[in-house]
Each structure stands twice: as structure tokens, then as C-alpha cells.
């Protein structure tokens, strides 16, 4: 069965898309630690990020680098933090989280509750910056 993230890539489940190319997809985390919390995934279905083929793995980080730069421009923050967990969804992904302090990257923190309009606005702002890079 397709993973929930593959279903997002295929448009079967809606997402707030931030960026996409042939092999990778980036979208807002639905339970964000901060405004602009983004997930970057390979379209290839593989549970564990460190089991990705070397070229897909390298390309994922290259794509995430560009997405992080777009987040940096679109979201007020000191810098963008990175985390890889995969404890919940068995489809490799990188978390990019705008940070103002170290504690902003604690996954035990209370998640933000944003409106559809807020998600749409944030995704659109990041997407616009991504396209201008
Ligand atoms: P992890 O697997 O890295 O431990 O956590 C998975 C992350 O994916 C969580 O931060 C969770 O909020 C996010 N997530 C899970 N299901 C969905 C979904 O259907 N849509 C979106 N946008 N994010 C999801």
C-alpha cells in the first residue's frame, strides 16, 4: 500500500505544497512546531532515509538546502533547523523548522494550530521564494 506521503505526492491527500521537482516534494507539516515547518521527501518510497540509494539521498539534501533557503527568506527566524525522525511516517523525510531558539526544535513541544488560510499564506510565501532562487 502507498505511504501517506506518496498519496500526498499523488494528490490523493491534500497538502500545502512548497516546492516540487521530478524526484522530490516539499510541503508544510500539518502539526507544525513553528510557522513554516516543512517536510522534504523523495518521491521514491523508502522508509529509512539512510537506506535511500546514494544519488537519491544526495539529491534529497540538495533539494532540502534550496527549500531551507526559501524558508529563511519567507519566514522570520534566526535560522532553519534540520531534523530526521521517521518515528511516525515510514517514508523518508527531512524536517525543516524555522528556529528562534534551541527549544523550538523539541518535538515534545505543543504543536501550533494554524488556520487553512495561514497554512496557504505560508506555503505560498515559501513557494514564491523557492522559485526566485
Ligand atoms: P516523523 O515520522 O518524522 O516522526 O513524523 C512525521 C511528521 O509528519 C509529523 O511531524 C506529522 O505532523 C507529519 N504528518 C503526518 N501525517 C501528515 C499528513 O498527512 N500531512 C502532513 N502535511 N504532515 C503529516
The answer, yes or no, to whether any atom of ligand 1 lies below 6 A from the CB of 89, is yes
Range of the domain at 21: 4-132
Averaged pLDDT, 30-57: 98
Whether the pLDDT of residue 41 is over 90: the answer is yes
Ligand 1: residue whose CA is nearest its atom 1: 86
In whole angstroms, how far apart are CA 6 and each of 61, 67, 81, 125? 19, 19, 24, 24
pLDDT at residue 1, rounded to an integer: 86
Total number of domains constituting the chain: 1
Averaged pLDDT, 108-125: 98
Using CA atoms, how far apart are residues 3 and 42, in angstroms rounded to an integer?
12
If you average pLDDT over every residue of the chain, what do you get?
Answer: 98
Distance of CA 17 from the midpoint of ligand 1 (Å): 14
Residue pair 36/122 in contact (Cβ under 8 Å)? The answer is: yes
Residue pair 48/92 in contact (Cβ under 8 Å)? The answer is: yes
CATH number at residue 81: 3.30.428.10
Averaged pLDDT, 106-124: 98
Distance of CA 53 from the midpoint of ligand 1 (Å): 23
Model-level pTM?
0.98
Averaged pLDDT, 104-115: 98
Amino acid at each position: 500500500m502507498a505511504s501517506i506521503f506518496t498519496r500526498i505526492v499523488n494528490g490523493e491527500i491534500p497538502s500545502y505544497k512548497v516546492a516540487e521537482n521530478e524526484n522530490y516534494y516539499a510541503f508544510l507539516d500539518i502539526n507544525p512546531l513553528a510557522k513554516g515547518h516543512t517536510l522534504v521527501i523523495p518521491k521514491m518510497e523508502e522508509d529509512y532515509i539512510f537506506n535511500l540509494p546514494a544519488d537519491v539521498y544526495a539529491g534529497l539534501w540538495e533539494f532540502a538546502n534550496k527549500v531551507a533557503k526559501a524558508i529563511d527568506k519567507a519566514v522570520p527566524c534566526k535560522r532553519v533547523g534540520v531534523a530526521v525522525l521517521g518515528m511516525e511516517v515510514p517514508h523518508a523525510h527531512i524536517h525543516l523548522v524555522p528556529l528562534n531558539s534551541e527549544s523550538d526544535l523539541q518535538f515534545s513541544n505543543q504543536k501550533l494550530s494554524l488556520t487553512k488560510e495561514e497554512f496557504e499564506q505560508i506555503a505560498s510565501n515559501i513557494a514564491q521564494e523557492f522559485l526566485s532562487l
